[in-house]
Amino acid sequence: MLWRAPTGYGPLQRGLAWAGLILMLASFGWLQLLPPSERVQISSDDGWDRGPVRLVVIDAGHGGRDSGAIRDGVIEKDLTIDVARRLEQLLRARGFRTVLTRSGDEAVSLAERTAIANEQRNCVFVSIHFDEGGRAAATGVNTYYAARQQTAEPGITSWLPFLQPVSNESTNVGSQSLAGFVQQALVTRTGAVDRGTRAQQFYVIANVRHPAVLVEGGFLTNQEDLSKLTREEYRQELAAAISDGIKHYSEVVRERPTVAAVPEPGT
């Protein structure tokens, strides 16, 4: 059935609708005039490998007033930026360029994080988080991908979500594959309990138009996980695992532009 405007739509309602549209357009124009955020630093490397994946956007979860999970003085936002910086160094050493959605302890909205990623080309997006569970026994690592993502090019529609087309593929192959490679590497490197890959419509990955994943690197509410996460060597292993997964994904994309979904570890 075709959608029809409701009857009885008077002058006042029409005026409010037009005012809202004009306000959104004016806001978009104002945002476009703002200088780029100083925190968005793109690294460059003249010797970098020119594969299909040209750049990695690294999103350290939380920041500023948003501390994330806290347990025994360990704060999630501190762990995420630490792993993000380690990951950035490892990826640069492998020839990737990188963008950090935040480089310090500042608040960055979910919309800003996705906008930073959507301004880039030929990239993948990884958001780093740590979990908290209702049970102290909950442990392990898992990687999320969005079953459906926005597919619009950057522009005015990126500020008007209702205008953005959504992928109608039953499976988001690119993001699912990236999640599988990252999850396999996490389990192999760290020996953590494998909680698998899962489809979840988290805003920060569902609204990115590139292959995107969200990593949960352990539970702050689990004493064993918490003990590991306080060690620099373990956080380095987490970063190395994510780097391994991205590299593997990039290699497969180079060989097969249409990447098939990989099986979850253990299947």
Give the tens place of pLDDT for each residue, 76-112.
999 999 999 999 999 999 999 999 999 999 999 999 9
Kind and range of the H or E run holding 235? helix 232-255
Residue 41: which pLDDT band, with cuts at 50, 70 and 90?
Answer: very low
CATH of the domain at 59: 3.40.630.40
Residue 256, pLDDT score: 77
C-alpha distances out from residue 118 to 16, 91, 98, 154, Å: 31, 20, 14, 6
| Beta carbons within 10 angstroms of residue 85's beta carbon | 16
Tokens 């979840």 appear where? 200
Residue 11: which pLDDT band, with cuts at 50, 70 and 90?
Answer: low
The amino acid at residue 78 is D
Would you call 146 exposed, middle or buried from its count of C-beta atoms within 10 A (0-12, 13-18, 19+)?
Answer: buried
Residue 172: which pLDDT band, with cuts at 50, 70 and 90?
Answer: confident
Q: Is residue 209 part of a domain?
A: yes
Instruction: Provide the mean pLDDT of the chain.
Output: 81
Nearest to 151 by CA among 199, 207, 107, 200: 207
Q: What angle do CA 179, 183, 184 make, to 5 degrees?
A: 120
pTM above 0.85, yes or no: no
Q: Is residue 6 part of a domain?
A: no
Q: Is residue 243 part of a domain?
A: yes
Q: Is residue 212 part of a domain?
A: yes
Average pLDDT of 25-49? 46
Average pLDDT of 49-67? 87
Identify which has the larger pLDDT, 215 or 10: 215
Q: Is residue 49 part of a domain?
A: yes
Q: Is residue 234 part of a domain?
A: yes
**Cβ(33)–Cβ(74) below 8 Å:** no
Residue 20: which pLDDT band, with cuts at 50, 70 and 90?
Answer: low
Range of the domain at 110: 40-255
Q: Is residue 11 part of a domain?
A: no
Q: Report the domain count for the chain.
A: 1
Q: Is residue 183 part of a domain?
A: yes
State the pairing for strand pair 141-145/212-219.
antiparallel
**Cβ(178)–Cβ(249) below 8 Å:** yes
